[in-house]
Amino acid sequence: MYYLNREQFEERLRFVPVLVAAASELSAANPEPANDCPLPVTFAAERVLHLAIETVTDIGSLLIDAFMMRDASSYDDIVEIIRGEGAIEADTAAILSELVALRRPLVQQYFAYERGAIHPLVRTLPGWLPKFGESVRVFVERELVL
């Protein structure tokens, strides 16, 4: 085992409820189907997705650095490694893979990103992101005991 920076790990986990609250507010204020969301709303939803991606991959990278002794080659690889090591379940990994696939469109191809509606992952984020946080916390506690 390498070193896990518990402070960084916990800071990022404490950010999960902030993302959940933002996604819940956006979803409640813009019920489905909302194919004509105002531009500021779609920008806010994109930012929530972007922050969720960064939070998940930061946490995954911290876990990989501390426990898995290998490097991830991509954002999707981060998800696959932590799934393979038992830090998250397969169903969570599937959603996270869908999430991290949005990074390039949101960050590098933002000028061509389709806007007008809130991405469905924003609406589902409050249901699965806390599960991710709990799973990785349990994994760390289990690994630190061994």
| Domain with 98 in it | 6-145
Q: Does 93 fall in a domain?
A: yes
Q: What's the whole-number mean pLDDT along residues 41-51?
A: 96
pLDDT in tens, 63-115: 999 987 688 889 999 999 999 999 999 999 999 999 999 999 999 999 999 88
Instruction: Give the separation between CA 2 and CA 8, rounded to whole angstroms.
Output: 15
- What is the domain-level CATH number for residue 47? 1.20.120.580
* Token pair belonging to 145: 């005991």
What type of residue is 4? L
Residue 115 confidence (pLDDT):
87
Q: What is the pLDDT of residues 50-63, one digit of tens each?
A: 999 999 999 999 99
Please, what is the Cα angle at 11 between 118 and 49, to 5 degrees? 10
Domain count, the chain: 1
Residue 100 domain flag: yes
Whether 35 has a pLDDT exceeding 80, the answer reads no
